[in-house]
Amino acid sequence: MTKYNKYQDYVIKDGKLIGEFEAMYKDYEDPWEQSTREEYAIEKLIGIELLSKYGHQKPLEFGCGFGNYTQKLYERFGMGGGVDISETAIKKAKQKFPDPTFFSGDILDRKIIENFKPDCILFVEITWYVLEKLEAFKEMITHTSKGCGFLHTLMTYGSGEQKYGVEYFTNLEEIKKYWSDTVEISDWGNIGNRDYNGGNRTFFYGKIK
């Protein structure tokens, strides 16, 4: 038996953040199909090419889940780290992929950044789940990671579809504006997704100020 009928309900339900990530990873084998379909999402492949373009060699992915994308980063650059708040997810990531460095922790745990010393920080599809911590995170990385690369990907939703987080941003231009006080943005784009009634997979890359 699972607590909720859908893994999404452990995260956001009825327009409210639930945030039960540990329970979700215990109850569901492959949320977001991250080890199959989501592993090959086009914005993630674009992200790898952007990191290569700007010469990065030590990326750190926040919200890594089972570590599939972190492993791809490791294979491409020879180093890679992943962070997730779920101990269950990190335990499985370490078992599946022994080469990258994985951390269980919160996005505001500055010791993770200080210990790993990444040359690029990745926020891959997790921003909706950490909205209330974003300002503190932005302030933290200006102290820990000035000049470091920053890659951000996030699904946005069509008009009337999004209920949570609309006071922060609803499209790529609003996302860029929100981060512009912290990141000098140099590359960005939208990828249309017909499955989400006008939604887009967005991405941007820049350097932390």
Q: What's the pLDDT tens digit per position in 156-199?
A: 987 777 778 889 999 999 999 999 999 999 999 998 765 555 67
Find the angle CA(10)-CA(13)-CA(14) to the nearest 5 degrees. Answer: 170
Instruction: Quote the tokens at residue 80.
Output: 């890679």
> Phi and psi of 45, rounded to 5°?
-65, -40
At 84 the pLDDT is 96
CA pair distance 209, 199, nearest whole angstrom? 29
> Phi and psi of 195, rounded to 5°?
-70, -15
* Domain at 34-208, CATH homologous superfamily: Vaccinia Virus protein VP39 (3.40.50.150)
CA pair distance 92, 47, nearest whole angstrom? 24
E strands, the chain, are: 12-13, 16-17, 59-62, 81-84, 101-104, 120-124, 149-156, 183-193, 199-208
* H/E run at residue 178: helix 172-179
Q: What is the pLDDT of residues 70-97, one digit of tens each?
A: 999 999 999 999 999 999 999 999 999 9
CA pair distance 132, 117, nearest whole angstrom? 25
Contact, 42 vs 201, CB < 8 A? yes
Residues in Cβ contact with 70 at an 8 Å cutoff, skipping those fewer than 6 apart: 61, 64, 80, 81, 82, 93, 97, 100, 102
Q: For the chain, give every domain's residue range.
A: 34-208
Q: What is the pLDDT of residues 124-164, one digit of tens each?
A: 999 999 999 999 999 999 999 999 999 999 999 877 777 78
Determine which of 50-59, 110-119, 165-174 has the lowest per-residue pLDDT on average.
165-174
Contact, 183 vs 124, CB < 8 A? no
Confidence (pTM): 0.90
CA pair distance 40, 109, nearest whole angstrom? 29
